[in-house]
Amino acid sequence: MSQSTSGVPAPGSLIIARERFVLPGGGILLVSRRPKAPVTAIRIHMRGGISLDPPGREGMAEWVGGLLDQGTTDRDEAGIADFIEPFGGSVSGDASGLRGSMAGDHWQRLLQIMMEMAARPTFPDAAVAVQFERLATHLRVQEEDPRVQGGRVFRRLVYGQHRLALPSGGTLASLEQVTAADLRAHHAAHWGSSRAILAVCGDVDPGEVHAQVLEHLKDWNVGSPLPKQEHRFPVSETRAEAFQKGREQVHVYFGHLGVRRSVADYPSLVVMDHVLGSGPGFVNRLSKKLRDEQGLAYSVYGDIHSSAGLLPGTFTAYIGTAPDKVEQAVRGIREEVRAICQDQVEPEELAMAKDYVTGSMVLGYERASRRAASLVAQEVHGFPEDHLETLRSAYAKVELDDVLASAQRHLFPEDSCLAASGSVTTEQLKSLLE
Amino acid sequence: MSQWKRTPVESAGAVVHDTRLDNGLRVLVVERHTDPVVASMCWYRVGSKSEHPDEAGMSHFLEHMMFKGTPTFGKGSVDREITRLGGSNNAFTSYDYTAYWFELASDRWETALDLEADRMQGLLLDPEEFESEKAVVLEELSMGLDDPWRRLSQDMSPLLWGRHPYSRPIIGYRDVLARMTPESMRAFYQRFYHPGNATVVVSGDVEPEAAFDAIAKRYGSIPAGPRWEDHDPWRPALEPPPGAQRLELTWDDPGRRILMAWPTGPVGEQADLACDLSTTVLATGRLSRMYRKLVLEKKLASFVAAHNDARQEGGSLLLYAEANQGVEMQALEAALQAEIADFAKAPPSAVEFERAQSILAAGERSETETVTDLAEHVGEYAIDRDWPMAFELTAMRRKLTPEDLQAFAQTYLTPERCVTGTSMPTTQS
C-alpha cells in the first residue's frame, strides 16, 4: 500500500488480473475474469489508427472501423444487428478498432460477430454510399459549429501539417476522395490479425475465450507488420486564429504540443495537472481563480497528461466564457501557466493532488469497458501487469521540485497557440498574445 | 438499530435495506461487495417543478450553492475533502428532484455523510459567493443556448406543458436569476432541505448495520422540518395540448432539425412503460423501424432518435430527426408522421415486440454495473415512485402486449396532441 504525503493511505490493489495469450500470427489476447459481472466488454484494438490515413484521405481509418458493421461475408447490416441487438449487445468501431458490450451470458455471440466484422467485412457499395451521405450531412453541420471548430482550429495551430492536425473523422473534402473500394483496400492492408490486441472482460473463462478466438482466427488474415513512420511536428511558437460566429459563448483554447506517454516526467505532470487545472471539483487553480473567484465560466480546465499517447498530445487550457470576458480569461489562464512554471506549488496543493491521484485509482474499474480499455492501453504501451501499482508509487514520490522542473520542461506560456470560436476575431486573439 | 426491511435483488447482485429515521429521513442501504467502492447519495424531493415563477432556476442554482460552505465546513471544503480522499462528487437537478453524490473507496466513505448531513442545514449563502456563482450559472445557461437542439426543445416546452412548471427550463431564465438574492434562496432552502424531504442511498461495499449507525449518527439529530405537502407550491394539473401546435426556428448552420413531442403519462404507469417499448421499436438500434425506413430505405434523415422523457407528473415521447442534405423538410416530417400513424394502425410484430423487450431488459442490467449506477437507479425510483420499481420494470413491461402499444399510440400519439418544432438554416429562411 503506497503512502502519500498527507498520510491518507491509498486503498486497494490495482492489478487487473488477466491472462495473456500470444495468438498465431502475433496478435495478443487479454482476458480478465470477473465472476458475476453483469456485462461483458470486448475490444479489438488495431495498431496504427489514423496515422495510416493516406494524405488527402484523412478519415479513412475512422470510416473503415466505423463501417465494419455494414456487412460481412456472412451477413448484411441487418443480419449483424439481428445477431446481437435482441440479446442486448452493441458494437461500434472507429480508427482504433472495435468495442462492444453484451449484458448477461451471451458473450460468445459478441465475440463471434466482432471477430467476423474485423476479419471479413465487405463494405457494400450501396450501404457505404448511404452512410457517406449521412456523414456528409453531419460534417457540413460541424463545419459551422463553433463548439466543434474551436478545438479543430487549435489542433491545426499546434500540429501544423501533421495528420493529427485534422479530425480523426475526416473532413468534407477528404470524404469526397474516398469510395467503398478504398475502404476495402485500406482494410486489407491494415486490419491483419497480427496487429490486433483483443481484450475480453466479464464473467468469462479465459481458456474458453482463448479456444473460441483461435477458432475465429482461422478466417482472419495475419496481414503485414505495422510500417515504421516518421513524425514531424512544428516547433512551439505563438500562433492565433479565430473561428468567427455569433454565439452566447466563446470557446477559448490555449496551449501547445504536449508529451508522449513514455516521457519520464509523466507522474510529475499528472500531479502538476491536478494542481493547475484538472481533476474533480474546483480545487485546481484554473477552476478556483477563473470559475469560483471571477465567475468567468461554467467549464474551465487545463491538462497535458490525458492526451499523451504513442505520439505527443497537447497541453490544452480551455475556457468557455462570454465574449466580453475573453481578454480577462486568456490573461488569467496565461498567468496561471506562467506561475506554475516560475514558483514551486504550495505543499498543501502538492499533497492534495497526490492524495487524489493515488487514492482515486481504485475507482472506475467496476465497469467492464474501462477494464478492457485499461488492458489494451497496458499492451499498447508495453507496461507490465502491475504498472498501475508502479504508477501509484511514482505519484506518491513526486516532490515540489519535480512539479516545478516538469512544468519548466514541458509548458511554454510564451510560445503558445491561442484558438477561439464564437464572437471573437483573429486580430483580437493576436493582440492578447502580444 | 431501527427495524428495516431487507430485500435481496438478484438481478443487481445486491441486498437493499430500507428504513426511515424518526425525523422522517428515508434510508436505503444497497449492499454489494464486488469492489471496494461506496456511492453515497442524498436525494431531495425538490426540482424545478417546485418553483414559483419568480423562482425559476432556484433549485439548480441552490445545487451550485451547496458547495459554497457552512459554518462547519467552509467554502470549497466539500471538494477539498473529497479530493484529498481520492473520491469524486457532484450533483444534478431535474424537474422533480435534486441529488448529490459521492463516490469513495470503502475504507473512507463515511466522510461523505459528514459533509452531506452538515449542508442539509445551515448553508452560509454568503452574498459575495452568491453573486460569483450566479455568474457561473449564467455561463452555464449561455452554454445551453448555443445548442440548437436544446434551444428547440426549450422553446417547445411551453407549447407542450402549458401553465405547468414543466414548461420552464430547469436552469431558469436570465432575468429571473438576476433578481434572485441570498434571502430568497434561503427561504427556498428552508422549505425543502430537511430530513422529511430527503432520501439517503448508500450503495456498495458496506456492512448494513454499520452504515445505518453512521447515517443515524449524522442525520438523526436534524429536526424533521416542515411537511413537504404544505410547501410544495400549487401548480395546475397537466392538460392535453390544445390541438396540434408548431414552432419554427432558424439557426445559422446547415442543419435542418425536427423535434416532435407528445405528452404521455407519469413515470411508472402503463403509458410510461408502453412509451419505453414504443421508442425502442421505433428508433433504437439498426433494426428499428425508423432507422430502416427513413435512414436506409428512403434516405430522408441522417439520423432519427426517440426518447421517453419520463417525469413524475407526466412525461413525453420525443422524436428527433435531421434531414439529409437535399431532402425537403416537409418530406421528412410527412414520413415521420406516417410512421407514427402506422404505429397506431396495427400492433408491432411479435419479433419487434420481443426485440424491444430484450433490449430494455439488457439495458437494465447495464444500469446497475457500478455502485454509483445502482445508487442512482434506486434513488431515482425511491423519489419518483418507490425503489422496488427500479428492479420490477422488466417484469412490468412483460405484462404488456403488442396491442397495448397500439392502444398507447392511439391514445397518446395523435396528431392533435403533437407539438412539432423545426430548426432551419437562417440563410434559407
**Mean pLDDT to the nearest integer, B248-269:** 97
Q: Which of A134, A175, A290 to mutate to test the interface with B (most CBs of B within 10 A)?
A: A134
A273-312 residues touching B, CB cutoff 8 A: 279-283, 288, 291-299
Which residues face A98 on adjacent strands?
Answer: A44, A93
Q: Categorize the per-residue pLDDT at B232 as very low, low, confident or very high, splitting at 50, 70 and 90.
A: confident
Task: Judge contact between A104 and A199, C-beta under 8 A.
Answer: no
Cα–chain-centroid distance for residue B206?
A: 27
Residue range A60-106, pLDDT digits in tens? 999 999 999 999 999 999 999 999 998 889 999 999 999 999 988 89
pLDDT at residue A71, as a whole number: 98
Residue A161 lies in a domain: yes
**Mean pLDDT to the nearest integer, B349-369:** 92
**In this predicted structure, which of B98-107, B110-119, B358-367, B368-377 has the lowest mean pLDDT?**
B358-367
Chain B residues in contact with A201 by the CB 8 A cut-off are none
User: Do A39 and A99 lie in a common domain?
Assistant: yes
**Mean pLDDT to the nearest integer, B375-379:** 97
Residue A282 lies in a domain: yes
Residue A7 lies in a domain: no
**Mean pLDDT to the nearest integer, A256-280:** 96
pLDDT at residue A288, as a whole number: 94
Give me Rg for the CA atoms of chain B.
23
CB of B146 within 8 Å of a chain A CB? The answer is yes
> C-alpha cell of A19?
491472462
Residue range B66-115, pLDDT digits in tens? 999 999 999 989 999 999 999 999 999 999 999 999 999 999 999 999 99
Instruction: Give the residue among A65, A50, A56, A46 at the shortest CA–CA distance from A183.
Output: A65
Q: Categorize the per-residue pLDDT at B429 as very low, low, confident or very high, splitting at 50, 70 and 90.
A: very low
CB of B108 within 8 Å of a chain A CB? The answer is yes
Chain B residues in contact with A138 by the CB 8 A cut-off are 302
pLDDT at residue A12, as a whole number: 66
Cα–chain-centroid distance for residue B270?
A: 19
A2, pLDDT greater than 50:
no
Nearest residue of A to residue B358, measured between CA atoms = A86
Chain B residues in contact with A293 by the CB 8 A cut-off are 132
Question: Cβ of A138 and B108 within 8 Å?
Answer: no
Q: Give domain limits for chain B.
A: 5-231, 245-347+401-425
CB of B297 within 8 Å of a chain A CB? The answer is no
Asked if the domains at B5-231 and B245-347+401-425 fall in one CATH topology, the answer is yes
B58-77 residues touching A, CB cutoff 8 A: 67, 76
The 3-state DSSP class for residue B393 equals: helix
Residue range B163-192, pLDDT digits in tens? 999 999 999 999 999 999 999 999 999 999
> C-alpha cell of B240?
392535453
CA quadruple A285, A286, A290, A291: dihedral sign: negative
Question: Cβ of A356 and B84 within 8 Å?
Answer: yes
Best CATH choice for the domain B245-347+401-425 from the list 3.30.300.30, 3.30.830.10, 3.40.50.1100, 3.30.2270.10: 3.30.830.10
Residue range A329-387, pLDDT digits in tens? 999 999 999 999 999 999 999 999 999 999 998 887 889 999 999 999 999 999 998 99
Chain A residues in contact with B369 by the CB 8 A cut-off are 37-39, 366-368
Residue range A163-208, pLDDT digits in tens? 999 999 999 999 999 999 999 999 999 999 999 999 999 999 999 9
Question: Cβ of A367 and B369 within 8 Å?
Answer: yes
Q: Which of A185, A217, A249 is the last residue of a domain?
A: A217
CA distance linking residue A69 with residue A75, whole number of Å: 10
Q: Categorize the per-residue pLDDT at B119 as very low, low, confident or very high, splitting at 50, 70 and 90.
A: very high
Residue A231 lies in a domain: no
Nearest residue of A to residue B356, measured between CA atoms = A86
Minimal Cβ distance to A298: which of B140, B286, B325: B140
**Mean pLDDT to the nearest integer, B325-352:** 97
> C-alpha cell of B241?
395540448
Chain A residues in contact with B362 by the CB 8 A cut-off are 87-89, 102-104
Domain B5-231 has CATH 1.10.287.3510: no
In degrees, to the nearest 5, what angle opens at C-alpha B195 toward C-alphas B189 and B198? 80
Chain A residues in contact with B140 by the CB 8 A cut-off are 298
Question: Cβ of B143 and A78 within 8 Å?
Answer: no
pLDDT at residue A14, as a whole number: 79
Q: Categorize the per-residue pLDDT at A10 as very low, low, confident or very high, splitting at 50, 70 and 90.
A: low
CB of B13 within 8 Å of a chain A CB? The answer is yes
CB of B2 within 8 Å of a chain A CB? The answer is no
For residue B340, is it left (φ>0), alpha (ψ between -120 and 50) or beta?
Answer: alpha
Minimal Cβ distance to A39: which of B82, B88, B365: B365
CB of A148 within 8 Å of a chain B CB? The answer is no
Cβ contacts of B110 within 8 Å, gap of 6 or more: B214
Residue range A132-151, pLDDT digits in tens? 999 999 999 999 999 999 99
Nearest-Cα distance to chain B for A246, in Å, is: 9
CA distance linking residue B147 with residue B86, whole number of Å: 33
A35, pLDDT greater than 50:
yes
Task: Judge contact between A35 and A202, C-beta under 8 A.
Answer: no
Chain B residues in contact with A145 by the CB 8 A cut-off are 253
**In this predicted structure, which of A55-59, A127-131, B365-369 has the lowest mean pLDDT?**
B365-369
What's A140's domain CATH number?
A: 3.30.830.10
A49, pLDDT greater than 50:
yes
User: Do A185 and A107 lie in a common domain?
Assistant: yes
Task: Judge contact between A60 and A183, C-beta under 8 A.
Answer: yes
Q: Which of B15, B38, B142 to mutate to test the interface with A (most CBs of A within 10 A)?
A: B142
User: Do A42 and A173 lie in a common domain?
Assistant: yes
Chain A residues in contact with B79 by the CB 8 A cut-off are 280-283
Question: Cβ of A280 and B135 within 8 Å?
Answer: no
B428, pLDDT greater than 50:
no
User: Do A189 and A246 lie in a common domain?
Assistant: no
Task: Judge contact between B38 and B371, C-beta under 8 A.
Answer: yes
Residue range B278-311, pLDDT digits in tens? 999 999 999 999 999 999 999 999 999 999 999 9
A58, pLDDT greater than 70:
yes
Residue A9 lies in a domain: no
User: Do A210 and A261 lie in a common domain?
Assistant: no
Question: Cβ of A295 and B302 within 8 Å?
Answer: no
Residue A304 lies in a domain: yes
Number of domains in chain A: 2
Minimal Cβ distance to A87: which of B86, B87, B358: B358
CB of B350 within 8 Å of a chain A CB? The answer is no
Q: What phi, psi does B326 have (nearest 5°)?
A: 90, -10
Cβ contacts of B327 within 8 Å, gap of 6 or more: B256, B299, B300, B301
**In this predicted structure, which of A234-238, A326-330, B176-180, B409-413 has the lowest mean pLDDT?**
A234-238
Q: Which of A183, A217, A251 is the last residue of a domain?
A: A217
CA distance linking residue B147 with residue B139, whole number of Å: 13
Question: Cβ of A8 and B86 within 8 Å?
Answer: yes
Nearest-Cα distance to chain B for A313, in Å, is: 25
User: Do A334 and A399 lie in a common domain?
Assistant: yes
Question: Residue A291 is part of which domain span?
Answer: 239-433
Taking the CA atoms of residue B30, residue B34, residue B40 and residue B41 in that order, the dihedral angle to the nearest 10 degrees is -60
The 3-state DSSP class for residue B86 equals: coil
Chain B residues in contact with A141 by the CB 8 A cut-off are 253-255, 322
CA distance linking residue A214 with residue A220, whole number of Å: 10
Question: Cβ of A78 and B287 within 8 Å?
Answer: yes
pLDDT at residue B2, as a whole number: 59
Averaged pLDDT of chain B: 95
**Mean pLDDT to the nearest integer, B149-158:** 97
Averaged pLDDT of chain A: 94
